[in-house]
Structure 1
Amino acid sequence: MTLTQKLLPLAISVLLSAAPLMAADAPVAKEAIAAALISKVNSAVDADTARLTHIFKDLHQHPELAFTETRTAGIVSKELKALGFSVTEGIGKTGVVGVLKNGEGPTVWFRADMDSNAVRETTGLPYAAKAKQKQADGSEIDVMHACGHDAHVTWMLGLAKTMAALKSDWSGTLVVYAQPAEEVGLGAQAMVDDKLWERGFPKPDFAFGTHTAPGPVGVISSSPGVRMAGVDQLDITFNGLGGHGSTPQMTIDPVVMASQAVLAYQTIVSRNLDPQAAAVLSVGSIVTGRDNNVIPETSVLKLNLRWFTPEVRTQMLKRIDEINKGVAIAAGVSAEKMPTRVMKGNSGPLINDKLLVSRINPSLEALMGKGKVIDHFPAVMGSEDFQEAFKPLNTPYVFMLVGVAPPALFQEAQLMGRPFPYSNHNPDFFVDLAAIPIGAKVNSVAVLSIMAKQNTSKNTVN
């Protein structure tokens, strides 16, 4: 028994629910694209792997935070232009869109996000990110690709080159685009607000995206239905009355109010929501004060909400407002200085199109091997803004997950009772280099499942 065969049951036990691989109400699967075409994809990507690995390492060493991805965008633009794509830059500040027209047929859009995280890397990789990024206020912070967006960009560029090389095998229009600011949930909407759909680009019939997952290399997920939760980023400001730490009776302490609110927020999920309604409320940051002996004027709480239904989202926001007001009133805050709420990034749940999943999965399984494509994966509380770009057009889409952890590390974690060897957004997150060609192949085969000449007469999924 191979290592992969030993690991697969472990992977499935973690990555899957106990339900059958294909839900009872799922559509009948389509046929896979020709084996000869899959062989061409394998050959094209294998020949390109050295270039892709070089690009990936370079991107990993030079992470850029939301809306500052100018270097990354420049690389994407240069590579796409060299492949014959018509390229438009600067959409939503740093977004890049490349269009490759190849006759009649469906139009497919494929997205990669570019931004990194404010995390100090501890992987010890020879190509680890080490430089700090300077902020607008002059401060410097650590940055790293702790969520795999460097791989996403690399995989997209691999797709672009493969499709350019195989133009005789497909027909239609391929649009690949690099999106800024996914981590703050603002990038997709920024591109839409910057007239993405009013610039004359071909409108999508279908859309795809891929994301790294700390499952074992060689296993992917392409699953129908709800995949990820909706998300809100919001800031709450408590306004107090500052003063000397030795005379608290002369102040209204915003630090105390913020602390009371943080604890009270925990009752929203545990006591206000239906116990069967999944939701998460996290306070990621408290920004207040500076000196030990000074009670500050304000305290800011940075909240993150996760939810699957708009009803739950509405109830959470309502209770947050009620708790804030109650805490402030109890502290003696005047009506004109009540707490304020500022909504920042927002995305709805990500919901993969069932029919489109059934269309591409046979080809993905032909590529990866039987049992390596997980098509019944439980929804997670992680979130995305990929889908927000396509809401105005009601475009059917599929968002896939690609395993990037070394199988041996995954097995070791399983034996220790841990679901994964590491997780996204952690300083030890990394993408095994063996996953670089795999992601490019997955992207290419998913797109060819729609655009291969044997399939281009099917402009709708049926």
Structure 2
Amino acid sequence: MFSGPMIRPVITLAAITIAALPPIAQSTPSDLAASAAKQLPSLSETYKHLHRNPELSHHEEKTSALLAAELRKLGYTVTERIGKYADGSQAYGVVAILQNGVGPRLLIRSDMDALPVVEKTGLDYASTVRSTNAQGQDVGVMHACGHDIHMTVLLGVAHEMADRKSQWHGTLMLIGQPSEETIDGARAMLADGLYERFGKPDFVLSEHDDSTHAAGSVALKSGPMLASSTSIDVTMRGVGAHGSAPQLSKDPVLMAAEFVVLAQTIVARQIDPQQPAVLTVGMIHGGAKRNIIPEEVTMGLTLRTYSDKVRDQIIADVRRTADGIAMGYGVPQDRMPIVTVSATEITPVEANDPTLTERMRKVAISTLGADHVDPADSVMGSEDVGLFSLDGKIPAMMFRLGAADPTKLAHAVEIGVPLPGPHSPLFAPVYAPTIQTGVTAMTAMALDLLKE
């Protein structure tokens, strides 16, 4: 519409105006990866220290102190011991805030606790820690779920975001969450006024390392990604007697044994096969001496579903199965089983917000390359990070962070034998590329969400 001579002065004026403005640095994928690589030596030492010194859920005192101290060094405003458990005890939650003008508020969460697992990796930085669990047992302690990776990535992202304040605006809220393994840490932090005290975020991001994806890659999925989790205790009560006179007893050990077997028929024969569900008896305690039939035996169960209706149906079936066994053994009415559904070790389905997930998928592809961004599958594992979304009112997304040696993973797929994964005593992430990729991807996502 305009001729060449008319346009030239306009372009010249625009160029002069732009040149007069202060430059705004922009990150490129190679820049982010290179910066994360520079951090890798120090982050690797932090990772190994965390791996050697794991702490069980509700006991993350030294772990949280280390995380808080490192975040303070980076200029974050840090508050420790955030969280109130149902019994009134204080949690070791960490909140670190970095304010950078007006803009969105982004929460990035890492969990901190380890598992009661004896490490068998043979690594030179393997954990040899032992502790006492909630049942009073002496147990080994291991970061068998990779929370040491998560904390290390969080610190790497914290460093990148502090160094790149010219590239974003808003508030960054970094969370060190306790007690994910007992799925009551997020609830404890929210119960302690997390959002009332530090502000409600506009977005929630998290990641979880994964042995089914190669180090150097991430995996994303919209919608339900992790199942709900419900902890149940079943106590079979009977009548005790001498081991030589079982006819005088109502043997709770035998009843518990029958319950363990019959409980497996609940999902197999009473639940629609198209409704995913898992019911596992993971703990059983009873008796004090070989020749004494005890008064009671307690079993710890975990239930995973993608449906509240199915969850409630299975809980009712657990009660009916326990009562039926007891009645079959002639247990007195005042000694019938006790079935307790935990009010704290319970978490809903973790569902990724579709719009946020697709936005972050594009960021991951542009940052890592399409060949390093995989589709993720829904699994029956559970997480309590979804609680931070307030029942989906806040867009939230968790991505999987590949942690497996690519060559070993390819061989495992070829022979059909999976690599040791989370909760295995042999779980050993390839930490260097995993951490570098986690820092690179999460920083790119954070920058994208805080650019508005």
Length-normalised TM-score, structure 2: 0.89
Matched, 1:366 2:357: no
Structure 2: distance between partners of 1:248 and 1:386: 48
CA contact (8 A) 1:412 1:421 kept: no
AA in 2 matched with 1:321: R
Q: CA deviation at 1:406?
A: 0.8
Structure 2: distance between partners of 1:83 and 1:342: 45
What percentage of aligned pairs have identical amino acids? Answer: 37
AA in 1 matched with 2:386: Q
Aligned to 2:19: none
Aligned to 2:47: 56
Structure 1: distance between partners of 2:179 and 2:105: 25
What SS is found at the alignment partner of 1:351?
strand
Aligned to 1:94: 92
Aligned to 1:193: 191
Aligned to 1:173: 171
Max Rg structure: 2
AA in 1 matched with 2:368: M
Structure 2: distance between partners of 1:170 and 1:367: 17
Matched, 1:207 2:210: no
Aligned to 2:75: 84
AA in 2 matched with 1:47: K
Aligned to 2:57: 66
For residues 217 and 126 of structure 1, do their structure 2 counterparts lie closer, same or farther at Cα, with a shift above 3 Å needed? same
Q: How does 1:421-460 map to 2 (within 5 A)?
A: 421-433=419-431, 434-452=433-451, 456=452
What SS is found at the alignment partner of 2:116?
coil
What SS is found at the alignment partner of 1:94?
strand
Q: How does 1:378-457 map to 2 (within 5 A)?
A: 378-391=377-390, 394-418=393-417, 420-433=418-431, 434-452=433-451, 456=452
What SS is found at the alignment partner of 2:298?
strand
What SS is found at the alignment partner of 1:371?
helix
CA contact (8 A) 1:107 1:173 kept: yes
RMSD: 1.5
CA contact (8 A) 1:238 1:339 kept: yes
Q: CA deviation at 1:35?
A: 7.4
Q: How does 1:309-324 map to 2 (within 5 A)?
A: 309-324=307-322
Greater mean deviation of Cα atoms: 38-47 or 340-349: 38-47
Aligned to 1:277: 275
Structure 1: distance between partners of 2:376 and 2:219: 7
Structure 2: distance between partners of 1:135 and 1:274: 37
Structure 2: distance between partners of 1:137 and 1:277: 33
AA in 1 matched with 2:335: K
Structure 2: distance between partners of 1:36 and 1:241: 70
Aligned to 2:109: 111
Cα displacement string for residues 293-316 of structure 1 (whole angstroms, at most 9, x for unaligned residues): 110111011101110010100100
Q: How does 1:335-346 map to 2 (within 5 A)?
A: 335-344=333-342, 345-346=345-346
AA in 2 matched with 1:373: V
Aligned to 1:21: none
Aligned to 1:20: none
Q: CA deviation at 1:137?
A: 7.6
Structure 2: distance between partners of 1:393 and 1:358: 16
Q: Which runs of 5+ in 2 are unaligned?
A: 1-24, 84-90
AA in 2 matched with 1:62: N
Paired residues, number: 417
Structure 2: distance between partners of 1:328 and 1:285: 20
Greater mean deviation of Cα atoms: 131-140 or 338-347: 131-140
Q: Which runs of 5+ in 1 are unaligned?
A: 1-33, 457-462
Q: CA deviation at 1:77?
A: 0.5
- Bigger relative contact order, structure 1 or 2 (CA pairs below 8 A, ≥6 apart): 1
Q: CA deviation at 1:363?
A: 1.6
Cα displacement string for residues 63-110 of structure 1 (whole angstroms, at most 9, x for unaligned residues): 111010111100111011111111111012111000100011110000
Structure 2: distance between partners of 1:117 and 1:408: 28
Structure 1: distance between partners of 2:154 and 2:38: 16
Structure 1: distance between partners of 2:284 and 2:267: 20
Aligned to 1:239: 237
Cα displacement string for residues 271-297 of structure 1 (whole angstroms, at most 9, x for unaligned residues): 111111110011011111132211011
Structure 1: distance between partners of 2:346 and 2:103: 34
Aligned to 2:22: none
AA in 2 matched with 1:372: H
Structure 2: distance between partners of 1:392 and 1:348: 8
Matched, 1:354 2:340: no
Q: CA deviation at 1:331?
A: 1.6
Q: CA deviation at 1:119?
A: 0.7
AA in 2 matched with 1:190: A
Structure 1: distance between partners of 2:392 and 2:421: 33
Greater mean deviation of Cα atoms: 36-45 or 402-411: 36-45
AA in 2 matched with 1:211: H
Structure 1: distance between partners of 2:81 and 2:392: 22
Aligned to 2:126: 128
Structure 1: distance between partners of 2:355 and 2:386: 17
Length-normalised TM-score, structure 1: 0.87
Structure 2: distance between partners of 1:405 and 1:116: 20
CA contact (8 A) 1:44 1:165 kept: no
